[in-house]
Structure 1
Amino acid sequence: MKLDPSFIWTAFVQILSVIPTTLLITAVSVVCGLVIGTAAALIRTFRVPVLSEVAAAYVIFIRGTPMITHLLLIYFGLSLGVDALSKQFGWAFRSSSIPMIAFAFIAFSITAGAYASEVIRSGLLAVNRGQLEAAHSIGMTTGQALRRIVVPQAFAASLPNVSNLVVGILHASSLAFTVSVVEVTAKAQIVASTNWKFFDAYLAAALIYWGLTLLIERASALVEKRINIYYRGGVA
């Protein structure tokens, strides 16, 4: 086997066109996952009756099963559910009308939520419990104290792990090709199929993932630096 630098460059250029799709899947999944994860973490941290057991079961199940399984369960399960409801109520809408990328959004958001839950929960546990009590002593409600004092500090403490979560979802977005979403890995496969130079095309895809990962890590380091300046009392 001999590498073809010109084809690697050609593949690289062609794959660049689908980077927005990969970044969109990553961004939507991480944002939705953080919302889900924060809710689950708060429920478990404050031991809300019934809901804390449901949240714990959710986290254990999702973390204990592969991400591709979540994607396939959502893809087939949601399709069956939508079609069954449409038939039951006489709706014209069918699962075939759902954009394929929507299945990736839902599946990856659910997965990200379980991992984000543990990340945020560790951050919540790192915040001194006395701060919540102090907030109550000056008349703040629990909701106000969480929003203004506890959760911001928890996110700050969790930022390195949140960065790892973003990178993990970025890499996992490559699984979206299993439901016909053309992202970086799928595009590399399409480009490679023109002359069977799969190694060269996947090498180009690997370089793109590597570059995106470096950008995420750099952005995370800058945000972490600004947050550290803020909590030291400096000027951001």
Structure 2
Amino acid sequence: MKLDFEFIWTAFVALLGAVPTSLAITVVSVSCGFLIGTAVALSRHFRIPVISQVGTAYVTFIRGTPMITHLLLIYFGLPILVDAAAESLGIGFRSVSIPMIGFAYIAFSITAGAYMSEVVRSGLLAVNRGQLEAAYSVGMTTPQALRRIVLPQALAASLPNLSNMLIGMLHGSTLAFTVSVVEINAKAQIVATTNWKFFEAYLAAALLFWGLTFIIERLTALAEKRFRLNDRGGVSS
């Protein structure tokens, strides 16, 4: 078999149009997942009754089931809930109005939240408990201590894992094709059907993913360096 380098380049250029979709899925899911994960991690870290148990069950279930299963559960289950709720409330909105990428946003955010909670929790555990007690001794409230002392240090300690999470969600965004979202991998399949050169199309997709992953790794390295330079005992103004 002879590689068609010209078509690899043609496919690569065509795939660039799908990059915003893949990045949008990644950024939205990781951002929402970070908020969910932080809330769950804090509830488990401070052992808040009931909420911490619910959070533990959520993390256990999501981490114990495949990412594509979460997407399919949301895709087939959410419309039932939305339509039932809309009908009972007398609202005209129906699930058919939800864009396909919306299902990916919701499902991947839920997935990211469970994994992100463990990332944040590991960062919290890396911060010496004595710093929180010292904050209390000078009159800080728990939210103030978390915002100014604990969370900045936890975030710095979690950066490598956050980078892995971001890369994992970027690669996981390829599953969105199952609900008809045209991301990079789906676009490669579409491009390849013009002349059946699937190997070249997927090779172009692999190169594109590799480039995006490299950029994320470099940005993370710069962020880690910045955190180390600005570390002044963990206190944030």
Q: Residue 91 of structure 1: CA displacement?
A: 2.5
Residue 106, structure 1, aligned to residue 77, structure 2? no
List per-residue Cα deviations over 1:73-128 (Å, max 9, x = no partner): 01111011112223333322111110111111111111111111001101000100
Indicate the residue corresponding to 1:64 in structure 2: 64
SS at match of 1:145: helix
SS at match of 1:101: helix
SS at match of 1:96: helix
Structure 1: segments with no counterpart, 5+ residues: none
* d(CA) in 2 for partners of 1:151, 1:141: 14
* d(CA) in 1 for partners of 2:57, 2:88: 31
Indicate the residue corresponding to 2:124 in structure 1: 124
1:74-223 to 2 correspondence within 5 Å? 74-223=74-223
Using a 3 Å threshold, how does the CA distance of structure 1 residues 149 and 232 change in structure 2: closer, same or farther? Answer: closer
* d(CA) in 1 for partners of 2:162, 2:24: 17
* d(CA) in 1 for partners of 2:143, 2:226: 26
* d(CA) in 2 for partners of 1:104, 1:37: 18
Q: Residue 230 of structure 1: CA displacement?
A: 1.1
* d(CA) in 2 for partners of 1:33, 1:89: 29
Q: RMSD in angstroms over aligned alpha carbons?
A: 1.1
Q: Residue 41 of structure 1: CA displacement?
A: 0.5
Q: Residue 2 of structure 1: CA displacement?
A: 2.6
Q: Residue 232 of structure 1: CA displacement?
A: 5.8
* d(CA) in 2 for partners of 1:102, 1:81: 15
* d(CA) in 2 for partners of 1:199, 1:145: 54
* d(CA) in 1 for partners of 2:203, 2:105: 26
Q: How many residues are treated as equivalent by the alignment?
A: 233
List per-residue Cα deviations over 1:181-226 (Å, max 9, x = no partner): 1110110011011111111111100000000000000000000001
Residue 16, structure 1, aligned to residue 32, structure 2? no
Using a 3 Å threshold, how does the CA distance of structure 1 residues 142 and 232 change in structure 2: closer, same or farther? Answer: closer
* d(CA) in 1 for partners of 2:186, 2:66: 20
